[in-house]
């Protein structure tokens, strides 16, 4: 197939948002419902209770089946005396002891890991396929060399991302976030990657570290494409500008719910590139009731995998993200509705009744670079979400800001936040490089109440 075709998968990707795709989704959903009913004990029972069978349409399903939450998972684990493997076996339509190729997990701050099981088919035909689509849309081809700097344990950004690269046929150079920035930069020196994958925190950290570790700016690395994911950031205009101009690259934002941004000048959100693999749905974050799937609508993202087998763990499952969806055609002309990340359900703060997500704060702080470094922490003296105002923010000022200017800068920043997000925080200045950097996911909160 030609290297200049617009999509990796010319059979499926042009069909997104068409009646034909909806038919494909319904057919695949019926297969998924049958497999779960027959082979996943948890769903055998739940489907019976909720009156769901193989004839149930997606529209009926989203009203009949409640969102699968962390609390549901905890219940299942408890009912199986803390045996995670046995609990997992209840919710997937394959044998958890024999059929799996990979299990990745997210770990909350408390409780047991939330597993994401994969069979060979899940890895190759579902996630590998979606990630090959990402890579293709980002312009990567089989002659590219990709430096993999995500932590290997990350659910999608770890191993499934590697499978996507193998499927495309590019050369993978794994270092992982675990390698640390110096090793990442040195490895880049040996193999001259044309592309890099990692968190935005890592990309920003490499910009700071390169002059010391390499004796040169990151712009000398020759990286043409960066795919950033694992945490928000690559969608913020200032972060994008800093990464793109420092590396001299094109930056793409990627998400685990099968989305990648396009190369339109202005950020348009992530195009969902897996309509035939997974149905992305929206619910109200408070009531968990289904919301209309329409342009501009904000809500909690709920995922239902309709292809593959063991990833049945993602059946009306919420990864805990609040997103905004855009069903209007994108000016870039590529297929797939789009979504923008708004915040994590768990990271939501309520300041005098105003809902605030860390990303909203990050956006304002980033607009003050280089007067600030862009690094900050939200200081929480009490467990969230309720915050007694003023919200306290530790912010690193820029290296060249004289001390007598800091007070004025703090009021300017508080004013900008008051205008943009309706809160007036207290800014606590800290020196450049005082806050710990991360090669993994950047830390946002400083929870003083945990030390009390
Ligand atoms: Zn687009």
Model pLDDT, residue 4:
86
Q: What angle (nearest 5°) sits at the alpha carbon of residue 424, between those of residues 301 and 452?
A: 80
From ligand 1's centre to the CA of 336, what distance in Å? 8
- Alpha-carbon span 13 to 7, nearest angstrom: 7
User: Exposed, middle or buried by CB within 10 Å (0-12, 13-18, 19+), for 215?
Assistant: exposed
The SS3 of residue 333 is: coil
From ligand 1's centre to the CA of 334, what distance in Å? 6
Which architecture characterizes domain 348-451 according to CATH? 2-Layer Sandwich (3.30)
pLDDT at 206 over 90: yes
Model pLDDT, residue 312:
58
pLDDT at 406 over 60: yes
Buried b (16+ CB within 10 A) or exposed e, 178-192: ebebeebbebbeeee
For domain 138-256, the CATH class is: alpha beta
- Alpha-carbon span 129 to 164, nearest angstrom: 6
From ligand 1's centre to the CA of 129, what distance in Å? 20
Structure tokens at 328: 């209007």
pLDDT at 348 over 90: no
From ligand 1's centre to the CA of 331, what distance in Å? 6
Provide the CATH topology of domain 13-122+273-345.
Rossmann fold (3.40.50)
DSSP one-letter string for 25-87: HHHHHHHHHHHHHHH-HHHHHHHHHHT--TT--HHHHHHHSPPB-HHHHHHHHHHTTT-HHHH
pLDDT at 93 over 60: yes
Residues 351-372: pLDDT tens digits? 988 889 998 899 999 999 999 9
Q: Give the number of other Cβ atoms within 10 Å of residue 82's Cβ.
A: 10
pLDDT at 109 over 70: no
For the chain, what are the domain ranges? 13-122+273-345, 138-256, 348-451
pLDDT at 150 over 60: yes
Structure tokens at 241: 């500008």
What average pLDDT does the segment 325-346 reach? 94
From ligand 1's centre to the CA of 165, what distance in Å? 22
What average pLDDT does the segment 90-105 reach? 94
Q: What is the mean pLDDT of the chain?
A: 93
From ligand 1's centre to the CA of 106, what distance in Å? 29
User: How many Cα atoms sit within 13 Å of 422 on the Cβ side?
Assistant: 9
- Alpha-carbon span 370 to 422, nearest angstrom: 24
- Alpha-carbon span 374 to 184, nearest angstrom: 22
- Does the reported pTM lie above 0.85? yes
Q: Tell me if 275 sits within 8 A of 77, measured CB to CB.
A: no
Q: Do domains 13-122+273-345 and 348-451 have the same CATH topology?
A: no
* Close Cβ partners of 253 (under 8 Å, ≥ 6 residues apart): 228, 229, 234, 235, 260, 261, 267, 270
CA 324 to chain CA centroid, Å, is 14
Model pLDDT, residue 117:
94
From ligand 1's centre to the CA of 326, what distance in Å? 10
Residue 302: pLDDT band with limits 50, 70, 90:
very high
From ligand 1's centre to the CA of 236, what distance in Å? 16
Between 264 and 353, the higher pLDDT residue: 264
Model pLDDT, residue 240:
93
- Alpha-carbon span 139 to 263, nearest angstrom: 10
Structure tokens at 432: 């450049």
| 273 prior amide bond cis, ω within 30 | no
Residue 313: pLDDT band with limits 50, 70, 90:
low
Model pLDDT, residue 310:
78
Residues 16-44: pLDDT tens digits? 999 999 999 999 999 999 999 999 999 99
Which residues are paired to 321 by β-bridges? 344
Residues 67-84: pLDDT tens digits? 998 889 999 999 999 999
Q: Tell me if 166 sits within 8 A of 139, measured CB to CB.
A: no
Between 432 and 286, the higher pLDDT residue: 432
Residue 437: pLDDT band with limits 50, 70, 90:
confident
Q: Tell me if 150 sits within 8 A of 199, measured CB to CB.
A: yes
- Helix (H) or strand (E) run with residue 9 in it: none
Residue 214: pLDDT band with limits 50, 70, 90:
confident
pLDDT at 142 over 90: yes
From ligand 1's centre to the CA of 143, what distance in Å? 25
pLDDT at 207 over 90: yes
From ligand 1's centre to the CA of 99, what distance in Å? 38
Residues 228-244: pLDDT tens digits? 998 888 988 889 999 99
pLDDT at 111 over 70: no
The SS3 of residue 430 is: strand
From ligand 1's centre to the CA of 263, what distance in Å? 7
pLDDT at 438 over 90: no
From ligand 1's centre to the CA of 171, what distance in Å? 27
Residues 270-297: pLDDT tens digits? 999 999 999 999 999 888 999 999 999 9
Which residues are paired to 145 by β-bridges? 171
Structure tokens at 108: 């909350």
């Amino acid at each position: 197939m030609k290297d200049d075709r617009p999509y990796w998968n010319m059979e499926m990707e042009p069909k997104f948002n068409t009646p034909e795709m909806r038919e494909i989704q319904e057919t695949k959903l019926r297969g998924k419902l049958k497999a779960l009913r027959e082979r996943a004990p948890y769903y055998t029972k739940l489907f019976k209770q909720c009156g769901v069978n193989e004839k149930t349409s997606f529209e009926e399903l989203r009203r009949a089946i409640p969102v699968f939450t962390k609390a549901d998972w905890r219940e299942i684990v408890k009912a199986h005396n803390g045996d995670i493997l046995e609990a997992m076996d209840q919710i997937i339509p394959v044998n958890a002891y024999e059929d799996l190729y990979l299990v990745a997990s997210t770990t909350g701050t408390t409780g047991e890991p939330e597993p994401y099981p994969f069979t060979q088919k899940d890895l190759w035909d579902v996630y590998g396929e979606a990630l090959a689509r990402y890579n293709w849309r980002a312009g990567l081809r089989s002659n590219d060399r990709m430096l993999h700097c995500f932590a290997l344990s990350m659910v999608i950004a770890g191993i499934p991302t590697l499978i996507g690269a193998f499927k495309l046929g590019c050369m993978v150079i794994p270092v992982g976030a675990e390698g640390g920035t110096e090793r990442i930069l040195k490895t880049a020196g040996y193999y001259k990657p044309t592309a890099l994958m990692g968190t935005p925190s890592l990309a920003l950290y490499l910009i700071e570290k390169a002059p010391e570790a390499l004796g040169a700016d990151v712009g000398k690395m020759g990286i043409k494409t960066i795919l950033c994911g694992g945490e928000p950031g690559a969608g913020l205009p200032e972060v994008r500008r800093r990464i793109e101009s420092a590396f001299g690259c094109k930056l793409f934002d990627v998400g685990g719910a099968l989305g990648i941004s396009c190369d339109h000048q202005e950020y348009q959100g992530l195009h969902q590139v897996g309509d035939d693999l997974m149905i992305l749905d929206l619910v109200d974050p408070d009531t968990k009731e289904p919301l209309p799937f329409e342009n501009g609508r904000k809500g909690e993202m709920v995922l239902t995998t309709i292809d593959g087998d063991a990833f049945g763990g993602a059946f009306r499952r919420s990864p805990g993200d609040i997103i905004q969806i855009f069903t209007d055609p994108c000016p870039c002309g590529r297929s797939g509705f789009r979504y923008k990340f708004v915040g994590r359900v768990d990271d939501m703060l309520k300041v005098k009744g105003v809902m605030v997500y860390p990303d909203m704060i990050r956006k304002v702080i980033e607009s003050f670079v280089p007067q600030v470094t862009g690094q900050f922490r939200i200081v929480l003296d009490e467990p969230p979400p309720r915050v007694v105002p003023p919200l306290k923010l530790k912010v690193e000022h820029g290296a060249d800001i004289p001390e007598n200017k800091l007070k004025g800068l703090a009021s300017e920043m508080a004013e900008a936040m008051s205008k943009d997000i309706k809160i007036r925080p207290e800014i606590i200045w800290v020196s450049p490089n005082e806050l710990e950097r991360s090669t993994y996911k950047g830390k946002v909160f400083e929870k003083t109440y945990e030390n009390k």
